[in-house]
Structure 1
Amino acid sequence: MYSGTEAHWLQGYPALENLDDPAWRVALQKFEIMDVPTETTVFRPGDPCSYLLFLVKGDVRVYMSGDNGREIVLSHLKGGDLCILTLTTLLQTSDYSASAVTETPICAARLPVADFRKAFASSMGFQDFILSTLARRMHDTLFLLQEVAFERLEMRLACFLLRQRNGYDNCAVEMTHQQIACELGTTREMISRILKDLERRGCVRLSRKRVELADTSRLENINHGPTRNI
Structure 2
Amino acid sequence: MVVDTNQSYIKQCFPILEERLYQEIISSCSYHEFPSSSYVVKQGAYLNFLPVVLKGRIKMYAEEEDVQFLLYYINSGESCILSFNHLFDPKPVQFSAITEEDTVVMTLPVNKVKEWFVKYPTFARIIINDFQRNFEDLLQTTKEIVCFGIEDRLVKYLENKAKRDNSQLIHLSHKKIALDLGTSREVISRITKKLEKTGILVQHKRYIELVNC
TM-score (norm 2): 0.83
Task: Report the Cα distance in structure 2 between the residues aligned to 1:50 and 1:205, rounded to whole angstroms.
Answer: 45
Write out aligned runs for 1:4-15 (5 A).
7-14=7-14
Secondary structure, aligned partner of 2:134: helix
Q: Residues 45 and 96 of structure 1 are in contact (CA less than 8 Å); yes or no, is this contact kept in structure 2?
A: yes
1:110 to 94, 107, 111: 107
Write out aligned runs for 1:1-230 (5 A).
7-14=7-14, 17-20=15-18, 26-67=24-65, 69-165=66-162, 171-213=168-210, 216=212, 220=213
1:42-79: per-residue Cα shift (whole Å, max 9, x none)? Answer: 11122111110111112222211221x22122222222
Change (3 A) 1:6 1:172: closer
Change (3 A) 1:197 1:38: closer
Task: Report the Cα distance in structure 2 between the residues aligned to 1:84 and 1:104, rounded to whole angstroms.
Answer: 20
Identity %: 25
Task: Report the Cα distance in structure 2 between the residues aligned to 1:197 and 1:9, rounded to whole angstroms.
Answer: 43
Change (3 A) 1:103 1:21: closer
Bigger drift between 53-62 and 28-37 goes to 28-37
Task: Report the Cα distance in structure 2 between the residues aligned to 1:23 and 1:202, rounded to whole angstroms.
Answer: 52
Structure (1 or 2) with the larger CA radius of gyration: 1
Q: Residues 52 and 106 of structure 2 are in contact (CA less than 8 Å); yes or no, is this contact kept in structure 1?
A: yes
Q: Residues 78 and 130 of structure 2 are in contact (CA less than 8 Å); yes or no, is this contact kept in structure 1?
A: no
Task: Report the Cα distance in structure 2 between the residues aligned to 1:172 and 1:144, rounded to whole angstroms.
Answer: 23
Secondary structure, aligned partner of 1:155: helix
Which runs of 5 or more structure 2 residues have no equivalent in the other structure?
none
Secondary structure, aligned partner of 1:64: strand
Which runs of 5 or more structure 1 residues have no equivalent in the other structure?
221-230
Change (3 A) 1:164 1:131: closer
Tell me which amino acid in the other structure corresponds to 1:11: K
Q: Residues 28 and 109 of structure 2 are in contact (CA less than 8 Å); yes or no, is this contact kept in structure 1?
A: yes
Task: Report the Cα distance in structure 1 between the residues aligned to 2:25 and 2:208, rounded to whole angstroms.
Answer: 47
Task: Report the Cα distance in structure 2 between the residues aligned to 1:180 and 1:115, rounded to whole angstroms.
Answer: 38
What is the root-mean-square deviation of aligned Cα atoms in Å? Answer: 2.7
Task: Report the Cα distance in structure 2 between the residues aligned to 1:24 and 1:118, rounded to whole angstroms.
Answer: 14
Secondary structure, aligned partner of 2:37: coil
Tell me which amino acid in the other structure corresponds to 2:87: L
Tell me which amino acid in the other structure corresponds to 1:42: V
Secondary structure, aligned partner of 2:12: coil
Deviation at 1:23, TM superposition (A): 6.5
Secondary structure, aligned partner of 1:10: helix
User: What is the number of residues matched between the two proteins?
Assistant: 209
1:117-146: per-residue Cα shift (whole Å, max 9, x none)? Answer: 121222222222212221221111111111
